[in-house]
Amino acid sequence: MTPPSDASAEIRNYSSAVPLRGSYPTPLNYRPTMALLSVANLVLSFGDRTILDGVNLTVSAGEHVGLVGRNGCGKSTLLKLVAGLEKQKPDAGQVQLARGASAGYLKQDHHYDANKTLREEAGAAFAELEKLHHQLDEVANAMGEAEGDEMDKLLKKYERLEHEMQAAGGYAVDHKIDQTLHGLGITDEVFKVKCGDLSGGQKGRLALAKLLLTEPDILLLDEPTNHLDIAGRQWLEEYLREYRGAVVLISHDRWLLDRSVSKIYELEAGGMVEYPGNYEKFRELRALRIEDQRRAFEKQQTKIKHEQGFIDRFRAGQRAKQAQGREKRLERYIRDESLEPPMELDTMKLRLEPKARSGDQVCIAEDLEVTYEDKSLFKDFSVSIKRGDKIGVIGPNGAGKSTLIRCLLNEQDPTAGLSKLGSQVDVGWYRQTHEHLDLKQTIVEYLRKFVESGTEQEARDLAGAFLFSGMEQDKPMDVLSGGERARAVMAGLMSRGHNMLVLDEPTNHLDIPSAERLEEALRRYNEAQKKYTTAGGGGGGEGTLILITHDRMLLEHLVDQLIVFDGSGGVQHFLGTYSEYLESQRGTDVLVDADKPEAKKTKQTAKDAKSTKAKAEPASAGGNNKSKNKGNKKNKNKALSNMDTAKLEEKIEALESKISNIEAQLADPETYKDHTKFGALQEEHDKLKKEIGPYEDEWASRG
């Protein structure tokens, strides 16, 4: 298949590149030892600033690696150099891709034909296949009038084209396109929308879908989860886990990194450090490396001080000559063998402390309902929030999460029901969008209204704590990047000492170290403290937290309750952690998009099945679900073990017959023309394969 011309999902073929080790077979022959991508001694500078300083990176065929580092350290630049899209050429070093391999890069700027529909643009990923379709139709029409030798030639051409078309995906690509778009949260209703009318988020998801559909030998993904809700992230995680090609992933999504890669490369001060394992292992190994560097540095400093002490003591006197010799040796030692202290990454200096204690009852809501134009966002929702509660709010985009929060905080009147805040509740709200800001103000001018004294110096101290230094503090808000603006808003919010924090996507623009620092501060914010003063100069703690986020690691580490929107009007209050919630949802479609057919089918059954679990205490929610799952599995295995061998074999034969029948239908080209039939057969085939597994295992265990 020739690469698509789309700029958002560019595929570059390197057929003329010199192989790294001999000649390679076709890209589909994935061997773990084969180097697919090699970056050697890469150096790149912008003016007097060195971005990449001797970077080395190797990715084998089929290997999935993560690329991490601070914002602005050069991660995206490195990926663009690999993809051949960086305008500035490197100062030194080389990038090589294996002969005949293809690389696909996810661009952040998207250029589409404004008159094409989203579905048509997604189908452009298979432009070559579309040409084959047209050629096949032309040959078929010509065959209607051909005779003799001409007919024989056309038959051979038809067979050749049909073979090429099947090799390129055949009629199954329509199902594949729809499946990918649905997985990334694009509903059937949006398929017909013109590209010129798409939102930024929809364009971003379309670009990702087109790239994934091309299935290059190596995927270069730069923040692929930017426009995805939790359902989309879950789908992408599963996709990457099964992807046979290589992947280089830049992401702030720690949960995704933890489950999608087997190696982490960290770009630090222009150099590259390699760590085996996933993100959790990377944190562990990095801490050990920093500690080893610190010990070695301190040991060397002790040795240098000891030598210098001897030199200073005997510089004059009988041992002066010996002291001079040791001084020269020390100078050579410092010049040639001196170690640098371990690099400590600057992080925001966060300290969250409520200045005053709220009442025990922070918020209570009864039978809340919000309806827009006859569409119910949610209804009959009740909740009681106590001081110190840690609640996560999750669900598809557009399901009503922010609307519910506005109702709870009395910033919006519900269609029905009531909500009331408790006594002495001081709310700080970090909003996902920053439209409320005066963008003409500088960072210091903005922060002066938040600091207690109102002085410029205190505002500058606060800005410095959030990594704004020197002249940066005098930048107007409208020229800041998304991450810089997020830090400024966070600085103002955190300085006020609110006893209730509502954070809407607080980690969206933060790099991983900053997100982890925020997580640590929020964990302390919820811990009970004893020191409060009536004057408000307190010692903080036991604040109440409501967290709206798609950051699954943040949810897992901070909250023990969830308010879950299913996307079709249902809201569930689950008492338990995020992993306990996932465990309770096994076997159902979790967090499907609001307009997907699956959402409407599973809404009521999921609500009924989980209602009792939602009322469980946090400490027991996960344990109850696990013991129940074990019990079900045990009962099922017991039933199979008691089954007569002859009946067991009959059951396996019956299931195998059904599977063979479906596979025969799937092998028929006519089946692919009926997309509905193909999807149903594929679903039934997967279901039967899962069903037959336990029976085959039982039969095999009997020997």
Q: Provide the residue ranges of all domains of the chain, joining segments of one domain with +.
A: 9-118+175-277, 281-337, 361-577, 643-701
Which single residue is written with the structure tokens 């886990």?
241
Alpha-carbon span 492 to 501, nearest angstrom? 13
Diameter over CA atoms, the chain? 115
Scanning 467-596, the segments in alpha helix (DSSP H) are 482-494, 512-525, 552-558, 578-584
pLDDT band at 50 (very low <50, low <70, confident <90, very high): confident
Average model confidence (pLDDT) across the chain: 78
Q: Which CATH class is domain 9-118+175-277?
A: alpha beta
DSSP single-letter state for residue 26: -
Of residues 660 and 532, more confidence is placed in: 660
Highest-confidence segment of 50-54, 109-113, 145-149: 50-54
Residue 511 phi/psi, 5° resolution? -75, 170
In angstroms, the CA 523 to CA 546 distance is 12
Check if 9-118+175-277 and 361-577 are the same fold: yes
User: What are the Cα distances from residue 179, in Å, to 185, 232, 234, 384?
Assistant: 10, 12, 14, 40
On whether the pTM is more than 0.75, the answer is no
Helices then strands (H, E): number in the chain?
23, 19
CB 378 within 8 A of CB 371: no
Residue 285, SS3 per DSSP: helix
As a three-state string, the secondary structure of 304-316 is HHHHHHHHHHCCC
Q: What was the pLDDT predicted at 536?
A: 41
CATH architecture of 361-577: 3-Layer(aba) Sandwich (3.40)
Per-residue pLDDT at 389: 93
Q: What integer is the mean pLDDT of 652-662?
A: 84
CB-count burial class (<10 Å; 0-12, 13-18, 19+) for 491: buried
pLDDT tens track for 450-499: 887 878 888 888 888 787 888 888 888 888 877 788 888 888 888 888 89
What's residue 675's pLDDT? 60
Q: Is the pLDDT at 618 greater than 60, yes or no? A: no
Residue 254: predicted pLDDT: 92
Nearest to 126 by CA among 180, 195, 194: 180
* Residue whose C-alpha is closest to residue 70's, from 288, 339, 348: 348
Asked if 248 and 220 count as a contact pair (C-beta separation under 8 A), the reply is yes
Q: Name the residue among 53, 29, 33, 42 with its Cα closest to residue 96.
A: 42
**pLDDT digits over 576-590, tens only?**
999 999 888 875 555
Q: In sequence order, what DSSP letters do the residues of 618-641 get, joined into one string?
A: HHHHHHHHHHHHHHHHHHHHHHHH
Q: Which residues contact 326 (CB under 8 A, 6 or more apart)?
A: 307, 310, 311
Higher pLDDT, 589 or 674: 674
Task: Please give the Cα distance from 591 to 589 (Å, whole number).
Answer: 7
Q: How far apart are CA 86 and CA 105, in angstroms?
A: 12
Question: Is the per-residue pLDDT at 116 higher than 80?
Answer: yes
The angle that helices 200-214 and 173-183 make with each other, rounded to 10 degrees, is 140
Instruction: Say what the pLDDT of residue 502 is.
Output: 93
Is a pLDDT exceeding 50 seen at residue 388? yes
* Contact assessment for residue 99 and residue 17, using Cβ atoms and an 8 Å cutoff: yes
Residue type, 564: V
Whether residue 3 is predicted with pLDDT greater than 80 in this model: the reply is no
Q: What pLDDT, on the 0 to 100 scale, is given for residue 348?
A: 61
- Torsions phi, psi for 460 (to 5 deg): -70, -35
